Chain A
C-alpha cells in the first residue's frame, strides 16, 4: 500500500510536469491552430541553460531559473517575430513544419554546445525527502506539484480575468471575428509563444530534478506530453492539464508494477506506455477524450 501511495505521489508530480508541457502545446494551438513540435526543445533549452548557469557559473539556483525562463520565453517570442509572423496566412501544414525546423535547429545547437553528458540540475532540494512515518516523499516532487498547481492557477486567472486572456480566448474561438473587433492577433500569438516558452522551462527544470539529470535529450521526455494533449483534446486547456496528470500517474504506476506483473512487455515499457494509451484512446475517440470534432465545410 505504501508503495502504491508513493508511486501515485510520484505520478502526480510527473503529471504536473506533463501538465505544464501540455499547457504550452494547448496555448499555442488555441492561438494559431498548430502543434508546436519545438515545445520539447524549448523545454530542453530552459532546463539545460538553468543547470549550466548553476554548475558552470555558480549562479544561485533561483536566479539561474529566472534567467532560463526568461531566455526560453524570449526564444519563443523570437521565433514568432522572426519566422511565424511571415507565415500567418499559410496552410497549417507549413506552420507545423516550421516548428519542426525550429526543433531541428535548437536540438542540434544544444547538442553541439552541451553534448550528451548529463548535468546536475542544481536545485536546492537534491535527493532530500520529507519523512512521514516509514515513507519518504522527495522534496522535488512536492515542489513540482506545488509549482505546477500555482502556475496552472495563475494561468487560469490570467486566461479568465485579464484583457490579454480575453483576447486569447476570443482568438481561439474565432480568429477572424477577433480581428474584426480590434484584437491584435500578432499580440495574441506573441503572448502565446512567450507563455509556452515559460511553462516549458519550468517543466524542464522540474523534470531534471532528482533522480533525473539534465541533458539536451530531455526533449524526448517532453514528447510524452503528446499523449496528454491527445487524452485531453488539443483545444481544451483544462483537458490538457487533466491529461497531463493522468499520463504521469499511468507512467509511474507502469514503471512500478509492469516489471513484476507484465514483464513480457519488455524493459522500460513505462517509457512507451503513454503512447500505447494514446493510440488506444484515439482508436475509440479520434479527437481525444474531450476534444471537439471540427465542423467540415466545402
Chain B
C-alpha cells in the first residue's frame, strides 16, 4: 500500500521538491546535473539546451522588470539587439577577447536602458507597454539603416568567443575529455546564467529588491512609505537591459550572425510567454519557462518528420514547426494566466501545499477534519 502511494507520488514529489526543498540543496543538484548534462545528451539536444540557457538568461532579465517590478515591457528584443551588435563590433571588427565583448554587450544595453528609463518612468502600466513596442520598431529601423555597425538589412557575422588561446571554434581537450563548440557554448551560457541567477536572487533580498516588490504591488503605497519609486524603476530597467544585452551577445554569437529582423516583436513576446509560463517573480520561473518554450520547439522539430500535420523531414505540407510551437505557447500563456498565474513554479508550490495538507490530515485526522470541512 505504502509502496503504491510512493510510486504514485514520485512525479508530484519531484515538482514539490523543487519548490519546497531547501534552496541550497536544489541549487547544488541543479549545478551538478547541469555540469554533467552535456555528456548524456546528443548534439541535437545539446544545441537545444544552449538555446534554452541563452533564452533563460534573457527571460531572467525581463523578469526583473516585469515579474519583480511590475512594468510591462514588450521592448526586450531591442535590448538584446544592442548587446548583439555591441558584441559584433567589439569582437569581430576590433578583435577583442570574449572576456571584453560579452560584458560590453551587457554594459551597452544597460546604458541604453538607463537612457530610455526616464521616459518610461513617466508612463504607467499600459502606456509603457505601447511605448516599448515603438522601441522595438525604432531599434529595427536604426539597425537596418546604420549599416557600418549592423551590416544593414542583410545582417552581419557574429564572433565566436575566444578566451586567450581557447577558441570556441576549435573546441577544448582536457585529458581524455574533448568538449566541442556546442559544449563550450553550453558551459559559457551555463556559467553566465548561474551568475545572473545568483545576482538576481541576492538583488531580490536586498533593499532594492524589496523596493521593486513595493513598486509592483502598490506604487503609491510604496512611495508613501518612503520607497524611491523613480530610482527603483530606473535601476530595474538598467539591470533588466544589462542582462538582456549579455543574452543578446550570446544569442547572436551562437547563431553566428545577427540581422535586425531577428530582434522583432515576436522575440519580445516569446520572452513574455516564458516568464508567464514559468512563473513571474521567481528565480526558477524564467529558466523553467525557457525550458518549456524552447523544449517545445525542439521537440516539435524532432517529431516533425513523423507527425503528418507538421512540416519537416520528407513532407513539405503541413504546419511550419515555429508556428505550431507559437500556437501551443500562446494557448499555454492563456491557460496559465487563467488557471495558475504563478506559472510552473506555482504548480510546484500548489502540489507541495497539497502534500503537506494531506500529511497533516493523516497524522491528526480528528483535529483537522472539522477545520477543513468548515473552510470548504
Chain A positions near chain B (C-beta within 8 angstroms): 34-35, 37, 83, 86-87, 90, 92-94, 96-98, 100-105, 107-109, 111-112, 220, 223, 226-227, 229-230, 234, 266-269, 271-272, 275-276, 278-279, 282-283, 286-287, 296-298
Question: Does any Cβ of A come within 8 Å of B134's Cβ?
Answer: yes
Does B144 interact with chain A (Cβ within 8 Å)?
yes
Q: How far is the CA of A34 from the CA of B331 in the complex (A)?
A: 19
Q: Which of B11-19, B175-183, B320-328, B357-365 contacts A (4 or more CB under 8 A)?
A: B320-328
Asked if residues A104 and B269 are in contact (CB atoms below 8 Å), the reply is yes
Known: A112-B319, A278-B131. A104 touches B337 (CB 8 A): no
With A267-B145, A269-B141, A279-B131 as contacts: A298 and B220 at CB distance below 8 Å: yes
Contacts of A269 in B (CB 8 A): 141
B-to-A contact residues, CB < 8 Å: 70, 72, 119, 122-127, 129-131, 133-134, 137-138, 141-142, 144-146, 218, 220-221, 224, 265-266, 269, 272-273, 276, 319-320, 322-327, 329-331, 333-334, 337-338, 341
The answer on a CB contact under 8 Å between B329 and A275 is no
* Residues in B whose Cβ lies below 8 Å from that of A267: 144-145
CA distance A283 to B325 in the complex (A): 38
Contact of A227 among B122, B123, B134, B334 (CB under 8 A): B134
**Chain B residues, Cβ within 8 Å of A226:** 130, 133-134
Does B327 contact A105, Cβ atoms closer than 8 Å? yes
Residues A108 and B127 in contact, CB atoms below 8 Å apart: no
Which residues does chain B contribute within 8 Å of A87, judged by CB atoms? 337-338
Q: A230-B127, A286-B127, A296-B220 in contact; A108/B122 too (CB < 8 A)?
A: no
A and B contact pairs by CB, cutoff 8 A, 30 listed: A35-B130, A93-B125, A96-B129, A97-B337, A98-B333, A100-B269, A102-B334, A103-B330, A104-B326, A105-B330, A105-B334, A108-B323, A108-B324, A108-B327, A109-B323, A109-B327, A111-B323, A220-B265, A223-B265, A226-B130, A230-B130, A267-B144, A272-B134, A278-B130, A278-B131, A279-B119, A282-B119, A282-B127, A286-B127, A296-B220
Given A83-B338, A100-B269, A227-B134, A282 and B123 touching (CB < 8 A)?
A: yes
Does B131 lie within 8 Å of A282, measured CB to CB? Answer: yes
Of the candidates A90, A97, A112, the one whose C-beta lies within 8 Å of that of B272 is A97
3 closest cross-chain pairs (CB), A and B:
A266-B145, A104-B330, A275-B134
Using Cβ atoms and an 8 Å threshold, which residues of chain A touch B131?
Answer: 278-279, 282
CB nearest to A115 among chain B residues: B320
Question: What residues of chain B lie closer than 8 Å to A83, measured between beta carbons?
Answer: 334, 338
- Residues of the B chain whose Cβ atoms lie less than 8 Å from the Cβ of A93: 70, 72, 125
Select one of B124, B221, B269, B323 contacting A112, CB under 8 A: B323
Question: B124: which A residues are within 8 A, CB to CB?
Answer: 286
Q: Cβ of A90: which chain B residues have Cβ within 8 Å of it? A: 337, 341
Complex: how many Å from CA A227 to CA B127?
10
Q: A93-B70, A101-B331 are in contact. Are A275 and B138 (CB under 8 A)?
A: yes
In the complex, A249→B213 CA distance in Å? 43
Q: Which residues of B contact A234 (CB under 8 A)?
A: 126
How many Å lie between the Cα of A226 and that of B273 in the bound state? Answer: 22
A286 touches B330 (CB 8 A): no
Question: How far is A111 from B311 in the complex, measured between Cα atoms in Å?
Answer: 13
- Is B126 in contact with A283, judged by CB distance below 8 angstroms? no
B337 touches A94 (CB 8 A): yes
Which of A104, A227, A297 interacts with B329 by CB under 8 Å? Answer: A104
CB of A112 within 8 A of CB of B324, answer yes
Measured in the bound complex, the distance between the Cα atoms of B273 and A108 in whole Å is 14
A79 to chain B, nearest CB (A): 9
How distant is B220 from chain A, measured CB to nearest CB, in Å? 5
Contact A272 B327 (CB under 8 A): no
